[in-house]
Structure 1
């Protein structure tokens, strides 16, 4: 699996303890492969890497952003409002175990927390992470519809009368932003289609 190799290669920059790396990968794989994960799964990570790989030359610290991708949704419970905080704490522990320095650990921690509000950051690497995370919003109609179906499944515990107003609120939040995407690259690539997709979903809810 490409993700597995990517993770191992990344970790080998910091430690030669292959058992530790293997255990950390198995942990990631297990969490993202949970039955309740219809969208926030390994495929989501693959898609994000596809997006950030395309702008690798514009990213200042590619190792940090890669760790942020791997760990940003490692804790995911559709009934919790603390997923990002818990994921950031989880990452902090694991990265300390791998031997990253405090500055890099703090950087990854902050990037993961930023995926909660998706507000524009002063740190451009964080903006690339946020844009890659939201890139699904600007995909073609069919891909976007599949995404909305997967999200609905993740929130299947909630009946429509609770889910729909909550979802509308999320969509309205995106539409009220000056722009959904923070970086010029992603703005050019996805902004127009993303607004179309979101407006269409909002109308049909």
Structure 2
């Protein structure tokens, strides 16, 4: 998948300024290719787009969702509790420059903020975004535990005595949700395996 091409095609709906589009893409590429990005990187964006491809027909506003994918983790600092807020603000400023209207920008900001708590939304598009973001949880156990190792690397600044309780809290949060996945498609695809994976990881902590 060519993410740059995908981003360019998306932006061309709103601006014909190729230099602006190129500079915005360079920013995204640089952010997601940062030194500490072991999981929240360009490969994560690719996977999200692949997951969304299978439900594209059910998404009302695919352009907004696509921008939300590109910008939802653009700011990622393992020591910060406000990555989503910073990513949403970052996206809003860039998308204004492309020429998106305020309503669309507000929708994208809300979608990015929703990735903080992963609660079921009144907006089905947002639910598809959240499910694509969490789809890794329901992959086969080998893929899942590879993901957990990458997450641990991203939080390498924290010793186990701090990391493990925090990670346990996250896993329990997802297991206590009525369902991890908000949409029928992703529930059918990943819910059962996700619960097995999260439970198996909990036993290792």
- TM category (shorter chain) comes to over 0.9
Matching of residues 1-205 of structure 1 within 5 Å: 2-205=2-205
RMSD of aligned residue pairs (Cα, Å): 0.5
Q: How far apart, in 1, do the equivalents of 2:19 and 2:56 lie?
A: 29
| 2:13 match: secondary structure | coil
Q: How far apart, in 1, do the equivalents of 2:204 and 2:126 lie?
A: 32
Deviation at 1:24, TM superposition (A): 0.1
Q: How far apart, in 1, do the equivalents of 2:183 and 2:49 lie?
A: 16
| 1:66 match: secondary structure | helix
Give the TM-score, by structure 1 length.
0.99
Q: How far apart, in 2, do the equivalents of 1:141 and 1:117 lie?
A: 24
Q: How far apart, in 2, do the equivalents of 1:57 and 1:95 lie?
A: 25
Q: How far apart, in 1, do the equivalents of 2:11 and 2:31 lie?
A: 18
| 1:57 match: secondary structure | helix
Q: How far apart, in 2, do the equivalents of 1:141 and 1:3 lie?
A: 27
Deviation at 1:54, TM superposition (A): 1.0
Paired positions, count = 205
Deviation at 1:53, TM superposition (A): 1.1
Q: How far apart, in 1, do the equivalents of 2:54 and 2:20 lie?
A: 30
Q: How far apart, in 2, do the equivalents of 1:142 and 1:26 lie?
A: 33
Unaligned runs of 5+ in 1: none
| 2:116 match: secondary structure | helix
Q: How far apart, in 2, do the equivalents of 1:95 and 1:124 lie?
A: 22
Deviation at 1:29, TM superposition (A): 0.1
1:92-121 Cα deviation digits (max 9, x unpaired): 001100000111000000000000000000
Deviation at 1:141, TM superposition (A): 0.8
Deviation at 1:204, TM superposition (A): 1.0
1:162-192 Cα deviation digits (max 9, x unpaired): 0000000000000000000000000000000
Give the TM-score, by structure 2 length.
0.99
